[in-house]
């Protein structure tokens, strides 16, 4: 299957999974469990949506690996792995805020973000009625509109960020926000890293930074940003999981130097 075909499959599954998430949310949801903190709500819908994605991939791409938020990792034999967040922005989902998404990426290489290369991805935001797609070498798209990151930020950069659900990380995050505000015109915390990255690709945000993200939160969005002409990097700081930084070239570089303490 070509990268374009893989992209079409990712988009098709993301669309179907998004519709299921939306239907389940409309019908009411049952709280299934809590993870590391109270705020990290996992719904029945989260599991059901991942199940749908996994089953479709099992029948259409049986040799591929899988890495999903809810059901974990399974190595494949084809060299491709599907990296899936069934509902990115579960807290928004639980509260009925529209900014949640299904995030699906297919990547090539060892199933670790430092080593893989994105091949195709899709981010579906069903309550917003938007589907973002990217294929390596073919660009990033919102429907039939080709996406490009911003390049000029004369009034300062409109930045997105997020905070991990572990309260122990909040102080560090707030210190970082204070530093980064020196280059910002304003800051958005929308609650779905996949949507934040899609918005960077679409030029709706100039840049994004968040530490502690899991691979399934950013795999699809990272390819969108890159295919929209932007840059995504990860910075190891004195923290358990690295900081993800994204933006057009100038904003990405400036964010990176502020966050690393060079500026
Ligand atoms: C979360 C969202 C949120 C980010 C958190 C993530 P989840 O993903 O992407 O924006 O700030 O760090 O964990 O848990 O809702 O899939």
Q: Cα-flanking dihedrals φ and ψ of residue 164, to 5°?
A: -60, 160
| Average pLDDT estimate for 232-240 | 80
In the chain, ranges of CATH 3.30.540.10 domains: 3-146
In the chain, ranges of CATH 3.40.190.80 domains: 157-259
Model pLDDT for residues 134-187, shown as the tens digit of each residue:
999 999 999 999 999 999 888 999 999 999 888 888 888 899 999 999 999 999
Q: Are 224 and 197 in contact (CB under 8 A)?
A: yes
Res. 259 pLDDT band, cuts 50 70 90: very high
Q: Is 102 in the pocket of ligand 1 (CB under 6 A)?
A: no
Query: What fold characterizes domain 157-259?
Result: D-Maltodextrin-Binding Protein; domain 2 (3.40.190)
CATH code for the domain defined by 3-146: 3.30.540.10
Q: How far apart are CA 85 and CA 216, in angstroms?
A: 5
Task: Look up residue 249 and give its two tokens.
Answer: 């070239």
Distance 126 CA to ligand 1 centre (A): 17
CB within 8 Å of 58: residues ≥ 6 apart: none
Distance 6 CA to ligand 1 centre (A): 25
Phi-psi region of 232 (alpha: psi -120 to 50; beta: other; left: phi over 0): beta
| Average pLDDT estimate for 59-87 | 93
- Bridge partners (DSSP) of residue 161 are 209
Q: Is 213 in the pocket of ligand 1 (CB under 6 A)?
A: yes
pTM of the complete model: 0.93
């Amino acid at each position: 299957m070509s990268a374009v075909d893989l992209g079409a499959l990712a988009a098709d599954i993301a669309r179907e999974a998004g519709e299921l998430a939306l239907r389940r949310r409309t019908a009411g949801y049952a709280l299934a469990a809590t993870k590391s903190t109270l705020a990290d709500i996992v719904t029945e819908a989260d599991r059901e949506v991942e199940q749908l994605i996994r089953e479709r991939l099992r029948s259409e791409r049986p040799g591929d690996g899988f890495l999903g938020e809810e059901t974990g990792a399974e190595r494949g034999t084809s060299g491709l792995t599907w990296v899936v967040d069934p509902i990115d922005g579960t807290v928004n989902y639980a509260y009925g805020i529209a900014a949640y998404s299904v995030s699906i990426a297919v990547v090539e290489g060892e199933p670790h973000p430092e080593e893989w290369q994105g091949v195709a991805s899709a981010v579906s935001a069903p309550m917003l009625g938007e589907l973002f797609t990217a294929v390596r070498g073919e660009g990033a798209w919102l429907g039939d509109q080709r996406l490009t990151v911003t390049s000029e930020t004369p009034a300062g950069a409109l930045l997105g960020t997020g905070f991990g659900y572990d309260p122990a990380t909040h102080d560090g995050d707030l210190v970082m926000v204070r530093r980064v505000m020196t280059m910002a015109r304003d800051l958005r915390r929308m609650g779905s890293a996949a949507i934040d990255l899609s918005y960077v690709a679409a030029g709706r945000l100039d840049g994004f930074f968040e530490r502690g993200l899991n691979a399934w939160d950013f795999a699809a969005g990272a390819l969108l940003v890159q295919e929209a002409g932007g840059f995504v990097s990860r910075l190891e700081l004195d923290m358990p999981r690295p900081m993800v930084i994204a933006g057009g070239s100038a904003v990405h570089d400036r964010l990176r130097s502020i966050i690393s303490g060079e500026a």
